[in-house]
Amino acid sequence: MATRKQRESWFKVRGALNSYRSGILTAASFIVPFVIWCFFAYTPGLWDISHKLDVTTDLKNDEFSTIYRVDHVMEADRFGVFQQMVRDRNAEILTYQQSGGDLPEGVTVSSRANQKIIRKLHPVAVTTGWLNESQSTDNEAIYQLWKEIAEGNKDVPEEKISAENLEIIKQNWARMKVGGEIYDSATFPKEPLLHLIPDGERSVGRPSYLPSPGEVFTEGYKLFTGKSSLVEGSLGSRYIDSIIIVFMGFLIACLVGLPIGLLAGTFDFFAKLFEPFVDFFRYMPAPAFGTLLVFLLGSHDAPKMALVFLGTVCQAILMTANTTRQLDTGLLDAAQTLGAKKTDLVFKVVIPGIIHNLYNDLRILLGWAWTWLVIAELMGVKSGLTEVIDTQGRRFNFDIVYAVILLIGLTGFVTDQILARLQPILFPWASEEPGGGIAKITGWFSRLFGRNQVNASATPAIESTPNA
Amino acid sequence: MKNTCKRLRKLLLATSILALSAAGVKAEPLKIAYSDWPGWTPWEIAIKKGWFEEAGVEVDFQWMDYVGSLDAYAAGKLDGCHMTNGDALVIGTDKPSVCILINDYSNGNDMFIAKEGFADVKSLKGKKVGLEEGFVPHLLVLRALEDNGMSEDDIEIVNTPTDQTPQVLKTGAVEAICAWQPSSGTALREVPGSKAIYTSKDCPGLIYDCLFVTPESLKERRDDWMKVVKVWYKVVDFMKNEDNIDEVLEILAGRVSVTPDEYEPFLAGTYILKLDEALPIWKEAEGLGSIYGSSKISDDFNVKYKVYEEPKKYSSYLDPSLTAEYAESVK
């Protein structure tokens, strides 16, 4: 007890920290980068104020020559000009509506154009819960919504629909209801209606490559539930595709690499025969063979698995050989003294002797295999998670990109942690300390709550706290 | 004895599997590449709706980057590939690929975009332009320069993959880029103040977008390609029906990961040709109104700017017979 009271230094040269402290540090190693991200994403004053659109328009002019969709971010001054463009157009339409005459330039008489005008209310209606995501082209429901808002039957929060737009809704409805209280494509007006003025909440105008954690997690959630308006289907099947590529590549690399490595580690003959070439080959970057692989194996999954294989197999051979060589030669001598044959040596001495170290090697290799995923999936027909990363990156939708990258990182990390936790169960004789970082954190938490299940012996200091 | 029987049976099984797979080679699906050009994404409608199965032709549509698909095609990995009539002359195949279908002509979706402060092509003299060398954006820029009394020497070309042009323009490494939708739209949006200073609308007919197939595949499987042509015109009819517009937009926008509203303007920038509009273009004539005339102009450009040395026999790249035959069959 007395030694415990003395404050131990956090910086002991080559001394292990107790698990309480290592737990804190492990948690910090995740929290610090996250806090840095939050700092840059949320701190006011770092970036200019911008508007994230929730009502947009199909109008274009010289300055806004492309479509801005909901969620696009526009700098405050440009946003003002953008709104003005629509106001100017509305003024022209209003003159036309009241006094007739020639159609203003670029205005068409079509029910399609008007349908698109009334649909601009849909995204806002989703945020207020009036409509759901899938109703973006549901003319009947949207028409009904216009009616209810115009007639004051909806409680409209002002931050959702500006007074200006409310006025436009009423003016348009006055024209729309001539065609009936319920949507009818035949009587829906063709003469131009007024456009809703673009609107969007003021927010921190982060550059597109720096979405906030909130945006990334929301997009990630949408991706997984198949609700994203930009990525077709749910992420699940792509995720499985990617996992299959990685694991198949890894598996084949193991099937080829482990036996060769084992032989090379056991018999110098094979070491001299294989290792020099493998050592040479591993310096050739695997992606350099991409075109060749597509040429040989087509453009779907096969060349992708082959790339993961090529990128992993050399390490598999060399690591296995090295691990095999580290087996205590005393064991081999003893076995030979007892008359073991060569095959017995390999199967009954070498393999059981190194299996726990080999397991660790495979863990590292699996991590290695994951690093090839993105390059592999870009080959031939883009597929899996990478297609999302690639396409969305080009469209500057970095919130989606980061969500997918995080998913890949998380998958690799969690798999590795699970494998690490399994190690003491699979190889109890070789376990020194269970688990990696996550194990430590969970252990730390369970200790905090007094349920002491994990590795009691490793934490005598914390153990005795209640008694002290 | 029993063992021998077993072995024999195994052997038989193995050979029959081999034989089957050899037979399977013949019925292999047609491997066709398509990419994000709005004239080719409509195939997605046929794929989604199962129209190829209905027509009785097996296809393997492979979604790729445009230049990636040309590379895969040149490497002999595909039976058919979508490209512009000009690019078909450029890619390095030993035999001429054969155009059997004209999907559309570019009507504004190919854009030469300059950043703020450069109002027209002339103002880009001596400036850097990011584009994919030797391919369709290159052709458009050369044409733009020529229309403005300039030549390639007046600008500095920075070879840039088309899908990365928005990023490159945004970094300020170049003053202008040339790209097609959706990349061109992304650039206009992400680089405030940037503007299209010349587009394919200024020279309609310079760029026809077509389905090219290998001469071998056309020879061996002409019937199957005929079915593909038939499916295409089913797609065109579906698209041109106003009532389907929401469904069309949803499918096409989904394919290139934009929203339907963002996609809608692409429809005007890529003029999808109906059958009766395609037929006159197939007629041999001078000028951009005919695919022959258009290909000749591309060929002249390519020789003039040393994309390749000798003029090509562009007419051997064009085979109007399938479209004509289809037109005859629906008369």
pLDDT recorded at residue B25: 47
pLDDT recorded at residue B11: 53
Q: Which domains does chain A have, with CATH numbers?
A: 49-205 (no CATH), 235-432 (1.10.3720.10)
pLDDT recorded at residue B22: 47
The angle formed by the CA atoms of residues B77, B82 and B84, to the nearest 5 degrees, is 125
pLDDT at A395 over 60: yes
pLDDT recorded at residue B83: 95
pLDDT at A402 over 50: yes
B192 touches chain A (CB under 8 A): yes
Minimum-distance CB partner of B63 among A63, A112, A381: A381
Share of chain A above pLDDT 90, in %: 40
pLDDT at A460 over 50: no
pLDDT recorded at residue A453: 43
pLDDT recorded at residue A13: 85
Which residues in chain A have their CB less than 8 angstroms from residue B250's CB? 137
Q: What is the mean pLDDT of residues A160-189?
A: 90
B101 has which bridge partners?
B211
Average pLDDT, chain B: 89
Minimum-distance CB partner of A62 among B72, B183, B195: B195
pLDDT recorded at residue A454: 41
Helices (H), chain B: 2-26, 43-49, 51-55, 66-74, 85-90, 136-147, 165-171, 183-190, 215-220, 222-240, 245-255, 260-269, 275-282, 291-304, 321-329
Band the pLDDT of A467: cuts 50, 70, 90: very low
Q: What is the mean pLDDT of residues A390-406?
A: 90
Report whether B41 contacts B34 (CB < 8 A): yes
Minimum-distance CB partner of B257 among A75, A295, A391: A391
- A–B: how many Cβ contacts below 8 A? 88
Q: Which of the residue ranges A82-91, A212-221, A230-239, A351-360 would you say has the lowest mean pLDDT?
A: A230-239
Q: What is the mean pLDDT of residues A111-117?
A: 90
B190 with A396: Cβ contact below 8 A: yes
3-state secondary structure A184-197: CCCCCCCCCCCCCC
pLDDT at A6 over 90: no
pLDDT recorded at residue A441: 55
Q: What pTM was estimated for this model as a whole?
A: 0.80
Average pLDDT, chain A: 85
pLDDT tens, residue by residue, A312-322: 999 999 999 99
Report CA dihedral (B239, B241, B247, B253) to the nearest 10 degrees. Answer: 40
pLDDT at A456 over 50: no
Which residues in chain A have their CB less than 8 angstroms from residue B256's CB? 391
Band the pLDDT of A76: cuts 50, 70, 90: confident
pLDDT tens, residue by residue, B240-289: 998 899 999 999 999 998 999 999 999 999 999 999 999 999 999 998 99
Interface pTM, i.e. ipTM: 0.76
Distance separating alpha carbons of residues B286 and A193, to the nearest angstrom: 45
pLDDT at B207 over 90: yes
Band the pLDDT of B48: cuts 50, 70, 90: very high
B201 touches chain A (CB under 8 A): no
pLDDT at B320 over 90: yes
In a mutational test of the A interface, the residue from B30, B41, B73, B262 whose CB has the highest number of chain A CBs within 10 Å is: B262
pLDDT recorded at residue B23: 46
Q: Which domains does chain B have, with CATH numbers?
A: 30-106+205-329 (3.40.190.10), 110-202 (3.40.190.10)
Band the pLDDT of A228: cuts 50, 70, 90: confident
pLDDT tens, residue by residue, B14-46: 555 445 444 444 568 999 999 999 999 999 999
Report whether A117 contacts A196 (CB < 8 A): yes
